[in-house]
Amino acid sequence: MSFLLSSHRLIPLMPAWLLLGFLWTPGPPALAASGQTPDDERIAAATQSILTEITEERHQIHQHPELGNRETRTAALVAEHLRKLGLEVKTGIAYTGVVGILKGGRPGPVIAVRADMDGLPVTEDTGYAFASTDRTSYLGKEVGVMHACGHDIHTAVQLGVASVLASFREDLPGTIQFIFQPAEEGPPPGEKGGAELMLEEGLFRDLRPEVVFGLHTFAEMEVGKVGYTVGPAFAAVDHFRARIIGRQSHGAQPQQSVDPVVMAAQTVMGLQTIRSRNLHPLEPSVVTVGIVRGGERFNIIPAEVLLEGTVRTYDPEVRDTVERRMHEILGGITQAGGGSYEMDYQRGSPATINDVALARWAVPVMTRVVGAGNITELPPTMGGEDFALFANEVPGFYYRLGMVQPGTVSGGHHTPTFKADDASLEVGIRVMSTILVDYLASGGLR
């Protein structure tokens, strides 16, 4: 079970989502804004003036997606755009990451905003005129490449925000660090990447912000709407590979085998008892076997079977319990069957926990832009986000952007029919620009 004691720590008292009722109560935000307010009309007008350019850039990015640590074309487009705005630009961070620094004309805090740039090994089936037809090699196979999670929208929105705020930089009281991150979906095997590598290479050491903001498209939300979560928002993401080792034999002579297929089937079922019998019923967690691979021919019992999958949790102690029980289940089943096992369990990004005070502060700001009827509080999701690594360094707030036109249908994230509408760009730019300007004008967290 989980209880949020602060913006960065969970202690095992109650489930994460039940906590929200205790933390989020109606009334004024915990952080009152100062007397300064942003010029909302100026942000809206500046957004309109650059919307055609940003839409064209979104189409370019979407039409030519690139996998993690290989976002060279996208990074070049981003860097060129930022240089034209007169920002200080750094490239080659974590292979292909780009950072732009916008220094305001008045003193104030340093803040950061992050967008991810990588695509996925998915073959697009959207019907867009700017659909991707690009292909590349992934894990030894030729695959299609697609922005099937909206990272093209994220990147384009952030380019738009940089353009809007650069147009009145002399009035900004502070500095904004625009982070364009590679490999959010994970780097290629054997490589480091993403937020982890950017931080290792000194991203926040060279210029440390006091807060970090980010957004993600949401395939279940219409354009014009935004969603938020106070506290726990995205789960920790772990990746496991288990090799179940037996002894090969003819399929007609099973008594001569140590059958890894049978052991694998028992293991898949056994792993589900972790969630159902070892953890509290209200504790959010997932154990998913996504790959079962083994065998070469219908009448041969193979020597081994590979299981591969993911674990999603919110509580570090639950994370430990799941990994321990996986070893116990694999060990018990393979020993009973006369075989053995090997497991590589890799811990990925931790849970994304939105800073409570920062989230409470941001909700009225977003509401002012989109209207009270277009903002929704969302429950935590078991999806994962390496934005968590930035938010573990400094207080962070990560929210969802509606992307589907009313009356149309988008496939889910990571599917060939995922469709994020261009109209989401304007909303995304205006909301994020207003958040950043309001934060700087307020003088920061107090």
The CA distance from 109 to 173, in Å, is: 7
53 and 102 together in one domain: yes
What 8-state DSSP symbol labels residue 33? -
Q: Residue 49: in which H helix or E strand, if any?
A: helix 40-63
The CA distance from 266 to 263, in Å, is: 5
Find out whether 111 and 436 touch, Cβ atoms under 8 Å.
yes
SS3 1: coil
Q: Domain boundary at 303, 324, 347, which?
A: 347
The rounded Cα 435 to chain-centroid distance in angstroms is 20
162 and 288 together in one domain: no
Digit-by-digit pLDDT tens for the chain (446 residues) are: 333 333 333 433 444 444 433 333 333 333 333 333 557 999 999 999 999 999 999 999 999 999 999 999 999 999 999 999 999 999 999 999 999 999 999 999 999 999 999 999 999 999 999 999 999 999 899 999 999 999 999 999 999 999 999 999 999 999 999 999 999 999 998 999 999 999 999 999 989 999 999 999 999 999 999 999 999 999 999 999 999 999 999 999 999 999 999 999 999 999 999 999 999 999 999 999 999 999 999 999 999 999 999 999 999 999 999 999 999 999 999 999 999 999 999 999 999 999 999 999 999 999 999 999 999 999 999 999 999 999 999 999 999 999 999 988 899 999 999 999 999 999 999 999 999 999 999 887 66
Which two tokens mark 53? 């350019």
Among the options 66, 184, 238, 426, which is catalytic?
A: 184
Asked if 171 is an active-site residue, the reply is no
Sort strands 304-313 and 231-245 into parallel, antiparallel or unpaired.
antiparallel
3 in any annotated domain: no
Residues whose CB is less than 8 angstroms from the CB of residue 41 and which lie 6 or more positions away in sequence, other chains included: none
- Please give the single-letter amino acid code of residue 235: A
283 and 399 together in one domain: no
338 and 394 together in one domain: no
Which two tokens mark 129? 């005129």
Domain count, the chain: 2
159 and 76 together in one domain: yes
Based on the number of CB atoms within 10 Å of its own CB, is 190 exposed (0-12), middle (13-18) or buried (19 or more)? exposed
Task: Return the pLDDT at 409.
Answer: 87
218 and 250 together in one domain: no
For the beta carbon of residue 355, count every other beta carbon within 10 angstroms.
23
56 in any annotated domain: yes
Predicted model pTM: 0.89
112 and 210 together in one domain: yes
331 in any annotated domain: yes
The CA distance from 8 to 394, in Å, is: 9
259 and 190 together in one domain: no
386 and 316 together in one domain: no
Residues whose CB is less than 8 angstroms from the CB of residue 260 and which lie 6 or more positions away in sequence, other chains included: 244, 245, 246, 294, 301, 302, 303, 304, 305, 339
What CATH number corresponds to the domain at position 336? Answer: 3.30.70.360
Residue corresponding to tokens 């102690």: 317
19 in any annotated domain: no
316 and 168 together in one domain: no
Q: What is the largest CA-CA distance in the chain?
A: 82
Find out whether 261 and 46 touch, Cβ atoms under 8 Å.
no
Residues facing residue 289 across a β-bridge:
309
Among the options 118, 152, 315, 386, which is catalytic?
A: 118
Report the candidate in 342, 240, 241, 254 with the shortest Cα–Cα distance to residue 302. Answer: 254
Task: Return the pLDDT at 446.
Answer: 60
What CATH number corresponds to the domain at position 61? Answer: 3.40.630.10
Task: Return the pLDDT at 381.
Answer: 96
223 and 243 together in one domain: no
Q: What domain range is 435 assigned to?
A: 31-229+378-442
Asked if 118 is an active-site residue, the reply is yes
Residue corresponding to tokens 């090699």: 137
Helix runs in 133-241, H state only: 151-166, 194-200, 203-206
194 and 254 together in one domain: no
